[in-house]
Chains A and B, each alone.
Chain A
Amino acid sequence: MTPYAAIVLAAALLAAGAPAIAAANPAGTIKNSRGSASIEREGQKLAAPAGAAVLGSDRIVTGADGSVGIMLLDDTLLSVGPNSTVSLDKFAFDPATNDGALSASVKRGTMAVISGKLAKKTPGTVQFSTPSAILGVRGTEFVIDVGDGQK
């Protein structure tokens, strides 16, 4: 089974009320990918093509010509701009109840966010952070710019 099919299946099972599949902790799917872009996962650097699965502890890294658009399982939309590093720190989502948690940090560069079901249901469980700040969202679209990422 492809990683993609695994995510679709996991999403379908979750939607049908089956217990959460804990093993790989799928968090979402890369919907578009341009230029130099990679996923860092458990010390390994992987390609980040459209269709690839994103896990709840992945780091997305782009080069000067790179960008990546991601849809998380709760329908949160993320786009990582050029010269950026974004780390997913936590992801959990139960589609039956829309409960869960999301936290991600922008280490370098830019990321745009359109928040999804988690932020709608329980805004307090969704947190984005930068090297110097913590963002609380209230049902929102916004863009984060941390430049070279130094404090």
Chain B
Amino acid sequence: MMASPLLLLVPLLAALWPAPPRVTETITLLPNADGRPSAVVVRSANGETVIDRPYLSASVFAGGAVTPKDQEPAYVKARYSATLSALPEAAAVYVVYFDAGTDLLTPESAERIKQIRAQLARRAEPEIALVGHADRVDMPGYNDELSLRRAAAVQRVLVAAGIADRRIVTIGRGARELLVDTRDGTIEPGNRRVEIRVR
């Protein structure tokens, strides 16, 4: 018995019909830690798509088409867990304040620095810059020296907490970068500070 022409056509069509293109690359937007809106523009030879909300991904197909696709947060976290868990801790800046004309921390900052140094000691491979500042009470030359002494005082606290000296650089900025803008000769506690920059 002869097969019907229709039945013969089916395997023929399957062979000629191109398989749907394969997704070769996926770019997925993650939520921003600071909660601000963000976006990635993904451009290929054959198209462009903008992913602009968390867990929206761009699928790049073999052949170059790009289309957006929403992903489940749980899927993204599970699929990329090894990658995401390797992200280093973000850089941070802490500020401590000093009594007038000295390299002695204010009582509040002396307490606060205990938490700060514990956080620094926990970091993997920390690179720390201590940037000392003075207010505009004294002369520029003295303020340079005082601001550097303040940075060195913070350095001693951190080294005592077990952070290696070689991870820390100290810089004295004098009264060049006022947090609170004042005229010469003004007492301003907000300017007597050390910025602890860690990355």
The interface of chain A, by Cβ under 8 A from chain B, is: 2, 4-5, 7-9, 11-12, 15-16, 29-32, 34, 50-51, 67-71, 75, 77-82, 84, 110-112, 114, 116, 130-147, 150-151
**Nearest CB on A from B192, distance (A):** 20
Contact A145 B27 (CB under 8 A): yes
The 9 A-B pairs of least Cβ separation, nearest first, read A81-B83, A31-B88, A79-B86, A67-B86, A12-B169, A136-B41, A140-B38, A141-B30, A69-B86
Contact-size category for B? 35 or more
Contact B125 A132 (CB under 8 A): no
**Nearest CB on B from A4, distance (A):** 7
**Nearest CB on B from A75, distance (A):** 4
**Nearest CB on B from A16, distance (A):** 6
A-B contact pairs, 23 of them (CB 8 A): A4-B166, A12-B169, A31-B89, A31-B125, A70-B88, A71-B91, A71-B199, A78-B87, A79-B83, A79-B88, A112-B83, A131-B24, A131-B25, A133-B66, A135-B27, A135-B41, A136-B41, A138-B41, A142-B30, A145-B28, A145-B80, A146-B25, A147-B25
**Nearest CB on A from B152, distance (A):** 14
Interface 1/0s, chain B 6-25, versus A by CB < 8 A? Answer: 00000000000000000011
Considering the complex, give the chain B residue whose CB is closest to the CB of A79: B86
5 new A-B contacts, CB < 8 A, other than A70-B88, A137-B38, A144-B25, are A71-B91, A111-B83, A114-B87, A140-B40, A145-B80
Q: Which of A77, A82, A84, A137 contacts B90 (CB 8 A)?
A: A77
When distances are taken between beta carbons in the complex, the residues of chain A under 8 Å from B62 are 151
The interface of chain B, by Cβ under 8 A from chain A, is: 24-33, 36, 38-45, 51, 58, 60, 62, 64, 66, 76, 79-80, 82-91, 124-125, 127, 129, 131, 166-167, 169, 171, 199
Assembly CA distance A45 to B64 (angstroms): 33
